[in-house]
């Protein structure tokens, strides 16, 4: 059986939901359908989730809620009308929203979570109703009833092991299960949401629980591209990549999936397919455990800006056991995670995502390294980009680093950092932000357009 | 004034000591002379230090000491005879050795230190006597009398700040000071040795204390070469390099200086010159604080084998604050220092000098990382070499990494690791040991023999 997840744009309108129904009907193995809240129908439209945030905020502020509530209900009502659904569906949604609004406000975060989660929940109810009306044997499944039990981490809930056991029984359902994404319940029945974009996580958990043959993730693109289409014109489509490649690509700007979303599917080795609701015939991009990588060494190239470098030098540093660990402890005390630690003999740099730093934190870090570690030189520089080449087995392709470094040299840009040696699937270059675009273009040219090389 | 240090081969025989005297006489600014114990006169010869270790070992074992003692005395006696020195010099050395042998044996380490240090001490007495006999105003200086006060670290003594103050008065001496290398005294008068090869350290301390214009380090080579002459035929001579370049080169096989030896000179910005006792007219290699590096980006290429890689992977590792620190803590618990930590997104490698590992330690480390850190994969691989390109400003030369990586690709070898980004003076490639020699040759060809490129 297959688990299909449909994102916000796939369920944004009646027209889109008809496509979803057609997709599910066309393949009897599509037995579990996870849905998001209705997203944007056009550029400038507002997502239902954002309408719900506005509604919850107004309610918590003691403002009148009729107008923001009507906006939410209207979105569902318009869909239901165009799908010729029984008006009872909309009355049920309205009642559900009033119930949530009148709930206990003592914990504002939990209150907001319940309001937000209604977006996916009511979307699932409406879509299940439409499936049934179109002659598909289908039913809405409540995550609490189905056993999606999560731990109590606010906004970053994680499914407990017993959740997988209980959800596995969805395999036995004759009807198509329509399951809302984004939330689960703790053991004592409190609703908890996953991170934003968490419908991907729900789909991944269900795919793992029922040991699906495939987890299809329907969105509004035909596939994942080998490079950012905003930078490179008509980039190559990625037919197949491994989980590891997906992870490395997502590091620097490829918003393919939420970081944690694939974890459950990955652990059960369920293959994932990124597909387009608007063009279901396109093969999409497969994400698998292993693939043959003999054809092309590089799968994709990504780039992201917003990195800073903390540089520390001290004569005879490499003789001091514990130097690196002490340094990382200072960063940890400031709650800062790091990306890479290139090191020389008497110096090292720590590559950090700049958003974690503030002028005060920087001053404290530099001060502590100077006074506690007696460093000769400490400074922080910002405005770096990381450009990442990703491909299974790439680092065992002789001459690949040379080709990449030569391509960068052709742009006239300097390489500030090279990191290769741990991952077998990536090669990371640190460059100045203002060089990022030209480097990405040149690397794409080098590895994906050999026929067009001047 | 200049501080001159003469190594073991420079004072191994009467013939050599005559060269030393001529060198000192030829430049009146050479006012402080630091000497080692007599070294090897020919391949297969035994250094006096090794004879002394044999003597001390025999004494501690309660064996008869006459024969090993005679071997030591004989070395000095032969030198003294060929230099036509008063036999009283040798009688004094003999008495000194008997005194040391009959000292308290309760601390075997200190006992051995005293015996070993006699090598340099008596060398200094003998050479001072010869200087005086040749008409040079010169005197032996005892490190204890001169104030070379050290801390109490066994075998790794370090000069205390007040030592520099007291030694500074050597500036005022009319006579040339002949100073034994390798040892100092703690505040309570205990003799403590520096690390082996520690005469370089003594010279460096004295150069810093008297704020010498130059610290001349006389050895048996004309200069430092840009690559290992055993691998590359007739490598280029390095005329001038910076302290940082020297440090980076010494990392991988360039036994130019003991790691810590240059620290005192470095801190006082005293330039250092490596010169040849057998060919003092050769300009030697200068080690300075800063140099112009516009002419040639790469100063030297070194390579060293004996590295291992500890590989750790865990899905979503980079989300765990503290992961790297915890890993380094486990290594620290085993007393292991590391060289580099290349990292991917969900994995990292720690490059370690293999001599620190044993099968037991490896098993414990792997076990702890698996159980305490819940890693997906942990393994250790050995037989890596590090090849290091060193040059000031090198990492700001556009295209340099590309040239280096291309040269390596030409050899057909794979690059296992690249580390660039912290040090501005080095670029480190991790390769398999069996590829090391061909890579070193090709890199030398690329950066030092452009005219000969095929």
The answer to the question of whether B131 is labelled as a binding residue is no
Q: What is the pLDDT confidence band of residue A256, given thresholds at 50, 70 and 90?
A: low
Sign of CA dihedral B184, B187, B191, B195: negative
| Residue contact A318–B337, C-beta within 8 A | yes
Encode pLDDT of A330-346 as tens digits: 999 999 989 888 888 88
Fold of A300-452: VC0802-like (3.30.2130)
Identify whether the C-beta of residue B28 lies closer than 8 Å to the C-beta of residue B222: no
Q: What is the pLDDT confidence band of residue A452, given thresholds at 50, 70 and 90?
A: very low
Nearest CA in chain A to B261: A316
Distance from CA of A257 to the nearest CA of B (A): 13
Per-residue pLDDT of chain B (454 residues; tens, 9 = 90+): 999 999 999 999 999 999 999 999 999 999 999 999 999 999 999 999 999 999 999 999 999 999 999 999 999 999 999 999 999 999 999 999 999 999 999 999 999 999 999 999 999 999 999 999 999 999 999 999 999 999 987 767 889 999 999 999 999 999 999 999 999 999 999 999 987 668 999 999 999 999 999 999 998 888 888 998 888 988 999 999 998 888 888 776 666 666 678 889 988 999 999 999 999 999 999 999 888 877 788 999 999 999 999 999 988 787 788 889 999 999 999 999 888 888 888 889 999 999 999 999 999 999 999 999 999 999 999 999 999 999 987 877 889 999 999 999 999 999 999 988 767 788 999 999 999 999 999 999 999 986 544 4
Q: Does A14 touch chain B (CB under 8 A)?
A: no
Count how many Cα atoms sit within 13 Å of the Cα of residue A213 in the half-sphere of its side chain. Answer: 5
Q: Is the pLDDT of residue A450 over 70?
A: no
CA pair distance B285, B275, nearest whole angstrom: 7
Q: Does A398 touch chain B (CB under 8 A)?
A: yes
Q: What is the mean pLDDT of residues A229-245?
A: 90
The answer to the question of whether A220 is labelled as a binding residue is yes
Q: Of B298, B120, B143, which is closest to residue B205 (Cα–Cα)?
A: B143
Contacts of A339 in chain B (CB under 8 A): 318, 343
pLDDT confidence of residue A9: 93
Encode pLDDT of A130-165 as tens digits: 999 999 999 999 999 999 999 987 767 889 999 999
Q: Does A194 touch chain B (CB under 8 A)?
A: no
Query: What is the phi/psi pair of residue A292, to 5°?
Result: -75, 125
pLDDT confidence of residue B454: 41
Q: How many CB atoms sit inside 10 A of residue B345's CB?
A: 27
CA pair distance A450, A295, nearest whole angstrom: 13
pLDDT confidence of residue A453: 41
8-state DSSP, B1: -
| Alpha-carbon distances of B234 from A333, A348, B237, B240, B288, rounded to whole Å | 53, 34, 9, 18, 24
Domain ranges, ordered by start, for chain A: 2-220, 300-452
Q: Does A443 touch chain B (CB under 8 A)?
A: no
pLDDT confidence of residue B246: 86
The answer to the question of whether B219 is labelled as a binding residue is yes
Check for a shared fold between A2-220 and A300-452. no
Contacts of B247 in chain A (CB under 8 A): 315, 345-346
Of the candidates B247, B349, B422, the beta carbon closest to that of A422 is on: B349
The residue with tokens 């059986």 is A1
CA pair distance B113, A379, nearest whole angstrom: 43
Distance from CA of A377 to the nearest CA of B (A): 12
pLDDT confidence of residue B453: 42
Nearest CA in chain A to B321: A337
Identify whether the C-beta of residue A124 lies closer than 8 Å to the C-beta of residue A35: yes
| Residue contact B321–A339, C-beta within 8 A | no
CATH number, span B2-220: 3.40.1160.10
Q: What is the pLDDT confidence band of residue A196, given thresholds at 50, 70 and 90?
A: low
The answer to the question of whether B242 is labelled as a binding residue is no
Identify whether the C-beta of residue B377 lies closer than 8 Å to the C-beta of residue B409: no
Identify whether the C-beta of residue A5 lies closer than 8 Å to the C-beta of residue A215: yes
pLDDT confidence of residue A258: 67
CA pair distance B107, B179, nearest whole angstrom: 26
Encode pLDDT of A268-325 as tens digits: 999 999 999 999 999 999 999 888 877 778 999 999 999 999 999 988 787 788 899 9
| Residue contact A247–B345, C-beta within 8 A | yes
| Residue contact A319–B421, C-beta within 8 A | no
Of the candidates A260, A398, A415, the beta carbon closest to that of B412 is on: A398
pLDDT confidence of residue B452: 45
Least confident of A352-361, A388-397, B95-104: A388-397
pLDDT confidence of residue A175: 96
pLDDT confidence of residue A397: 85
* Class of residue B104 by CB neighbours under 10 A (exposed 0-12, middle 13-18, buried 19+): exposed
Q: Which two tokens stand for residue B334?
A: 């085993």
Q: Does A103 touch chain B (CB under 8 A)?
A: no
pLDDT confidence of residue B258: 67
């Amino acid at each position: 059986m297959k688990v299909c997840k449909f994102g916000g744009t796939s369920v944004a309108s009646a027209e889109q939901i008809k496509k979803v129904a057609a997709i599910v009907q066309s393949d009897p193995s599509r037995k579990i359908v996870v849905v998001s809240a209705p997203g944007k129908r056009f550029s400038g439209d507002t997502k239902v989730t954002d309408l719900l945030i506005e509604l919850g905020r107004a309610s918590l502020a003691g403002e009148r809620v009729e107008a923001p509530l009507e906006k939410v209900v209207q979105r569902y009502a318009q869909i239901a009308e165009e799908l010729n659904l029984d008006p009872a569906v909309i009355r049920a949604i309205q009642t559900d929203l009033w119930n949530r609004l009148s709930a206990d406000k003592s914990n504002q975060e939990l209150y907001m979570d319940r309001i937000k989660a209604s977006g996916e929940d009511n979307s699932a109810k409406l879509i299940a109703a439409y499936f049934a009306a179109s002659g598909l044997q289908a039913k809405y499944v409540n995550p609490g009833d189905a056993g999606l039990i999560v731990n109590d981490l606010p906004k970053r809930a994680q499914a407990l092991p017993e959740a997988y056991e209980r959800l596995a029984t969805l395999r036995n359902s004759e009807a198509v299960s329509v399951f809302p994404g984004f939330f689960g319940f703790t053991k004592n029945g409190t609703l908890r949401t996953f991170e934003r974009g968490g419908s991907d996580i729900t789909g991944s958990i269900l795919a793992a629980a029922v040991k699906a043959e495939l987890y299809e993730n329907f969105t509004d693109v035909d596939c994942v591209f080998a490079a950012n289409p905003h930078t490179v014109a008509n980039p190559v489509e990625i037919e197949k990549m491994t989980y590891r490649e997906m992870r490395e690509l997502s590091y620097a700007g490829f918003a393919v999936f939420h970081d944690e979303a694939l974890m459950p599917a990955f652990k059960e080795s369920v293959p994932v397919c990124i597909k387009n609701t608007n063009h279901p015939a396109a093969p999409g991009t497969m994400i698998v455990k292993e693939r043959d990588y003999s054809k092309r060494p590089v799968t994709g190239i990504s780039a992201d800006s917003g990195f800073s470098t903390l540089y520390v030098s001290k004569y005879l540093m490499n003789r001091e056991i514990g130097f690196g660990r002490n340094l990382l402890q200072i960063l940890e005390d400031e709650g800062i995670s790091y990306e890479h630690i290139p090191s020389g003999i008497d110096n090292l740099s720590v590559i950090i995502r700049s958003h974690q730093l503030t002028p005060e934190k920087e001053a404290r870090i530099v001060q502590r390294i100077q006074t506690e570690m007696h460093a000769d030189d400490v400074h922080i520089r910002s405005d770096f980009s990381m450009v990442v080449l990703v491909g299974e087995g790439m680092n065992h392709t002789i001459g690949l680093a040379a080709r990449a470094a030569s391509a960068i040299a052709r742009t006239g840009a300097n390489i500030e950092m090279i990191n290769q040696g741990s991952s077998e699937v990536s090669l990371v270059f640190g460059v100045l932000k203002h060089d990022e675009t030209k480097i990405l273009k040149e690397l794409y040219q080098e590895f994906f357009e050999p026929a067009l090389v001047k």
